Structure formats: structure tokens, C-alpha cells
Structure 1
Amino acid sequence: MCEKTRKTGSSSDAVYGLGLIGAAIYFISTATTFWMGVLGFLKAIVWPAFLVYEAFRYLLA
């Protein structure tokens, strides 16, 4: 009696994916060196953390 659960994609997955691509393009296009481009890609992966941080800083100031 094992129930199988299946997770389907949600719209938030699509928003995160598009945000990742857009942030990667922005950060890499503004990079001046190869390593700044690598750093830009890493920033693109964690862009929601930057967004939430800035939102809290703005709202709580």
C-alpha cells in the first residue's frame, strides 16, 4: 500500500528559471574579466537572496 507522489512543476519554478537566466546574462555581460564572469554566474544562482535582503532593508529602514 505504498502511495506514489508526483511533484509537478509550478509557476514559481519558471519564474526562478527565467530570473536565473536573466541575472546570468546581466552579471556576465557587465563582467570585465573572466573571474568576474564566474562570480556573476554564482550571483545569478542566489539572486533571490539578494532580492529578499534588499526588500527587507528597504521595508525596515
Structure 2
Amino acid sequence: MAKDSASGAGGGVVYGLGFIGAAVYYFQAADTFWLFVLAIPKALIWPGVLVYELLKSVYGG
């Protein structure tokens, strides 16, 4: 049995908190029904876009 099976769980917590924060932000900014519908997909995709833009700025893309 693996003794340190919980050692990789930190990334999931950080992603989860980022998702919740982004979802709250997008829900508060939504004015129409379709913006409410798009709030969840935007919150799911947001961390990936953030990392992409960060790496692009660091490595010059």
C-alpha cells in the first residue's frame, strides 16, 4: 500500500478554490441568462488560460 497517497492532493485544493472564486466572480458579473449559463464553463477553463498566459509571458510566445 502507498504510504503517501495524499501528498498530491494540494493541487486539487488550489484548483478547487480557484474554481469557486472564479465561479463566484462570473456569477456576480452576469447580467443575462446566458452569462449565468456560461459562468461554470468559464470558471472551469479560467485556470488553464491563466497558466497559458503566464507561461507565454515568461517564455515569450
Structure-1-length-normalised TM-score = 0.74
Q: Tell me which protein shows more helix as a share of its residues.
A: 2
Root-mean-square deviation (CA, aligned residues, Å) is 2.1
Secondary structure of 1:39's partner? helix
- Percent of aligned pairs sharing the same letter: 43
Q: Which runs of 5+ in 2 are unaligned?
A: none
* TM superposition shift of 1:47: 1.6
Distance 2:18 2:27 in 1: 14
Q: How many residues align?
A: 58
- Which structure has more RCO (C-alpha within 8 Å, separation ≥ 6)? 2
